Structures are given as structure tokens and as C-alpha cells.
A and B are shown apart, each in its own frame.
Chain A
């Protein structure tokens, strides 16, 4: 997985009816955009280290928009 600051990470629900969860990447600790990531959970603002598994994917939407806005 590769991510940048501002990306969103989406974690798929593991059970039927369980909602997807998402968090914002605040810091990339690994080399070349790799994990771990310091993330902030949307609902309560708590920060944690995140080590993505196969249930996680990166949404680059926000950082893409920011890059387009900067150019």
C-alpha cells in the first residue's frame, strides 16, 4: 500500500451490516509512501498508528484535489 498525507484509508466492514470505517493519513512513517501511517479517526479525532491489512484501501481523492488546486 502507498499513501500520502491527506489520503483517506477505508477499512471494509468485517461482518454483514458492519459499516466501513475511514481515517485520514496525517503522517507517513514508512519509506516511499509505505506503512505505518499516523492516522486520525473521523468521529472522535483520536490518532493512532495504522498498519494496513487486506481489509484496507487508500482513497487518494483528497490529495489529488489538493494537488490540482495547487497547480
Chain B
């Protein structure tokens, strides 16, 4: 499966000149916990709700401070068309919970550990199904015919 096909939630982006108040408001309205920061169609950073708290509120930044003052940059990205298992390796090697999904240089969405867990749970269910059926509805194979 392509990484883009594992993305459940829509991505939302803001320009770097927007304020952290606007960022918080857009997160609330869109129901997302992170925003892509996009400058002239180029992905320049990611800001999460945690960034707003730790880098904004905790440091006493005013609500009208620019959102790029609290964003993470550079951004860890994954190509939209590579197999989603490549994301597992990126999450394993990097202390992040989200990856920006890109096609070329264009941001197209955000994938989270939660997204992958959903698919992993589905995979496990599929794998467990025949074993569960075997345990619950065991069919005894006929004996192997004797050979001379």
C-alpha cells in the first residue's frame, strides 16, 4: 500500500507569517493536532499543538507571534508513493509521531503513528482470522494414505 493511501486525516497548512493564535484556532476548527507551514507552496516546517504549548505558552510568547517562531524545521518527510512500511523505519529511527507526506516538493498530507496502528491492527486481524477459525472450527484432516 502506498503511504498516501494510509493517510486517514486531511492535512491543513498555514503560511509562516500567520500567528500562533490563528494556528491554535485552525487546529481546533479542523480537528487536527498539527499544521504544515507552507511558504510559497514550499513546506518549511510543522507545528503541533505541543509546540504551541512548549515553545509558545511556556516561553511567554504573545498570541500574535508568528507561527514560524514555534515550528519544527527542517521537516522529516516521506514520499506519497512509497510503500507505507518505509514509514515504520522513519518512526523507528526518529523521535517523531508524524511525518509530512510529499509528492515531489509539494506537501500532500500528514501521516501519524496512529494511522499506521490502524492498518497494523487490520493486518493482524486478517492474519489471525484463519488461525482463529482453525481453533474454533477445527477440521481434522483425513489420514495420509499408506504407501507401499
* Residue B25 at the chain A interface, CB threshold 8 Å: yes
Taking chain A's interface residues, is the majority helix, strand, or loop, or is none over half, making it mixed?
Answer: loop
Cross-chain contact of B10 among A29, A41, A42, A56 (Cβ < 8 A): A56
Which of the residues A14, A42, A52 comes within 8 Å of B31, measured between beta carbons? A14
Chain B residue total in the interface (Cβ 8 A): 21
Instruction: Contact check, B13 vs A46: say whether CB atoms are below 8 A apart.
Output: no
* Residue of chain B at shortest CB distance from A1: B10
Residue numbers in B under 8 Å from A23 (CB-CB) = 29-30
Q: State which size class the interface on A falls in.
A: 20 to 34
What residues of chain B have their CB less than 8 Å away from a CB belonging to chain A?
Answer: 7-14, 22, 25-26, 29-31, 35-36, 38, 41, 107-109
A43 at the interface (CB under 8 A from B): yes
Within 8 A of B (CB), among A22-71: 23, 29, 35-36, 41-44, 46, 48-56
A46 touches B8 (CB 8 A): no
Q: In the complex the two chains form, is B26's CB within 8 Å of A11's CB?
A: no
